[in-house]
Amino acid sequence: MKYLWLLCLVSCCVFGQDPLGRQLPMSNNEANQLYAQQEYEGAKELYEELYKKDPTNGALAYNLGNVYNALGDAEKASELYEQAIKSKNQVAANRGRFNLGNLQMNAQSSQEAVKSFSDYLRNNPDDVDGKRNLELALRMMEQQQQQQQQQDDKQQDKSEDQEQQEQKQDQQQQSQNNQDSDEQQDSQDQQDNQDQEQKDQDQKDQDQQQKDQEQDQQDESDKSEEEQQKQQEQDEKDKKEQKEQEQQNEPEQDSLNDQVKEQILDALNEQELKQQKQYQQRKMGTVKRRAKDW
């Protein structure tokens, strides 16, 4: 909408008062006549046949560009105007620049249009339509730049707002992450404490079990020593009693021994007396036998 009035003025310059909209004269004017009669399809066929035979002909490129422009094919028309500008036909090149500038204005390509009209005015400095279109192109470019600047500012504001929002979200996320991390750390610490307590309790139970085993072993050892001590004391007591008994029996034994000795002596004496008696008897018997022999 902002450029509608500009485009109306441009259209007037291009298609109304613009003498450059007319075709360049050709050796065969049949195509030009069809164009003047607005029979653009017929004109296009004739121009296409001629252009294929002579693609460097700037006049043909310009006239064919006008046909495509009239048919509404701005892209093809722009290509043909470019070919006309590159040709050695200065008239076709100048008119191609002008009409290309108009197409660029219609396409909102203000910078390209400014360049095309500026190039045109270098060869046609007094052309009023060229000056007017260049002024319109400059105004359009200025407004587009202002619009672009506004859009950039809005985008910048939007980007800043978005950045602030993202920073806020990041801070919230970071805070949540920190909270989750703290909770996780607390949970981990609690679990570690429980594990450590369980480990300490297990170690304590193990130590107590080992201590109980050692105590049982010590009790058994003490009991064994106590029994050995009692046994030793009993043995000593028995020995003592036996010794006392022996001591008590010792006089009787001595007395018995003396009696035995006396009996033995008596027996010996008796035996000796018996032997002596036997000897005497044998001796006396021997004497008798001798006497008998005598």
pLDDT one-digit tens code per residue, 23-57: 888 766 899 999 999 999 999 999 999 999 999 99
Q: Tell me: the pLDDT tens digits for 232-250? A: 888 888 888 887 777 776 6
Other C-beta atoms lying within 10 Å of the C-beta of residue 115 = 17
Can you give the pTM of this predicted structure?
Answer: 0.51
Q: Which residue has the higher pLDDT, 262 or 119?
A: 119
The owner of tokens 């109980």 is 212
Q: What is the pLDDT of residue 191?
A: 86
- Which tokens belong to 9? 């003025």
The owner of tokens 């108009």 is 102
**Class of the domain covering 4-158:** mainly alpha
Q: Which residue has the higher pLDDT, 92 or 18?
A: 92
Among 117, 50, 55, 59, which residue's Cα sits nearest to residue 84?
A: 59
Tell me which amino acid residue 84 is.
A
Q: Tell me: the pLDDT tens digits for 144-172? A: 899 888 888 888 888 787 888 888 887 88
**In the predicted model, what is the mean pLDDT of residues 175-182?**
76
3-state secondary structure at position 248:
helix
Quickly state the pLDDT bin for 254 (edges 50, 70, 90). low
Q: Which residue has the higher pLDDT, 31 or 259?
A: 31
- Which tokens belong to 45? 């066929």
Other C-beta atoms lying within 10 Å of the C-beta of residue 267 = 10
Q: Which residue has the higher pLDDT, 252 or 266?
A: 266
